[in-house]
Amino acid sequence: MPFPHDATLADAGEFGLISELVALFPQGEHVLVGPGDDAAVLRVRNGHVVVSTDLLVEGNHFRRDWSSAEDIGHRAAAQNLSDINAMGGRATSLTIGLAAPADLPAAWALDFARGFADECSLVGASVVGGDLTRSDKVVIAVTVLGSVTASPVLRSGARPGDTLALFGRQGWAAGGLAVLGRGFRSPKVLVDAYKRPEPPYDAGRVAAEAGATAMIDVSDGLLADAGHIASASGVAIDVHAAAFDIAEPLQAVGAALGADPLQFILGGGEDHSLLATFPDALAVPTGWLRVGTVAEGSGVTVDGAEYDGPTGWTHF
């Protein structure tokens, strides 16, 4: 590191920091030109290229007093990698835009990059470029590119008679957020789940190969994201509450906060589990949990009735 550990971004300078950041991101064999030119150049072999962009704004999506820079790096990468997973694909390349105050410690930016790179390594994706500018708060913009070898699984393919299924941990990040919001740091497993989600990166491709008709990653809330499938597909979805096993940490938080722990599962996001529909129950792959049904109509219900609890996050 060519500058002192306590150096700020202003001390490091834009290009001094960039040179350190670039060194943290190894390049895969699909990268012909990586960071350092006007644009990256990537090999595309076959199939389809899929692209997604997400923003994270300090105070809205993360707090530096709750999460370390590495935690935030992991979360920023995970939510973008998960978008490609939800199409039945695999992420290959990402770019990062970082806006930050001049007095932000340069070490924070480097730790963020390490967390981001570590998460990307789980799927073999490369950070191939980005941008850096000044801002009053930390803002992170990520664009991810990936590939699918077959047709992408969209939100619009669910049909009456399909089975709704879930793969991955659900409600844990919401439980962790509820704990942090009350000023506590336990149960640690829930707080850790909020800080560093664990998307099921292999499940999207498995679902696509099994014939999933629609799929989405649960980032805003299970019911809210089921609603996106229902709306895009022109169907009604009924979620079965009894299908979910409420883990002991969620029960403990529910009891401590006087809340129904099921609300963390049904209304919670940011675990980045996968929600998908399959032609019938027999088509649901091993490891997926059957949690509902698809019928003619519109909207989302729980056990046949409108749910009166929180259904998920909305930005506006």
Average confidence score pLDDT of the chain: 93
Mean pLDDT of 49-55: 89
**Percent of the chain having pLDDT more than 70?**
97
Mean pLDDT of 141-170: 94
Mean pLDDT of 58-66: 95
Buried/exposed code over 86-124 (b: 16+ C-beta within 10 A; e: otherwise): bbbbbbbbbbbbbbbeeebbbbbbbbbbbbbbebbebbe
CATH code for the domain defined by 163-302: 3.90.650.10
Q: Does residue 1 have a pLDDT over 60? A: no
Q: Taking the domains of the chain in order of start, what are their residue ranges?
A: 9-148, 163-302
Per the model's pLDDT, the better-predicted residue between 149 and 130 turns out to be: 130
Question: What was the pLDDT predicted at 207?
Answer: 97
* Residue 226: both structure tokens together: 């089921």
Q: Does residue 145 have a pLDDT over 70? A: yes
Cis, peptide link before residue 279, omega less than 30° from 0 = no
Tell me the DSSP string of the chain. Answer: --S-TT-BHHHH-HHHHHHHHHHT----TTEEE-BTBSS-EE---SSEEEEEEEEEEBTTTB-TTTS-HHHHHHHHHHHHHHHHHTTT-EEEEEEEEEEE-TTSBHHHHHHHHHHHHHHHHTTT-EEEEEEEEE-SS-EEEEEEEEEESSPPP-TT---TT-EEEEES--SHHHHHHHHHHTT---SHHHHHHHHS----TTHHHHHHHTT-SEEEE-SS-HHHHHHHHHHHHT-EEEE-GGG----HHHHHHHHHHT--THHHHHH--SS--EEEEESSGGGSPTTPEEEEEEESSSEEEETTB---S-------
Q: Does residue 221 have a pLDDT over 90? A: yes
Question: What was the pLDDT predicted at 8?
Answer: 92
Question: What was the pLDDT predicted at 21?
Answer: 84
Mean pLDDT of 211-238: 96
Fold assignment, 9-148: 60s Ribosomal Protein L30; Chain: A; (3.30.1330)
Give the number of other CB atoms < 10 A from CB of residue 207.
29
Mean pLDDT of 151-175: 96
Backbone angles phi and psi of 238, in degrees to 5:
-115, 125
Q: Does residue 283 have a pLDDT over 70? A: yes
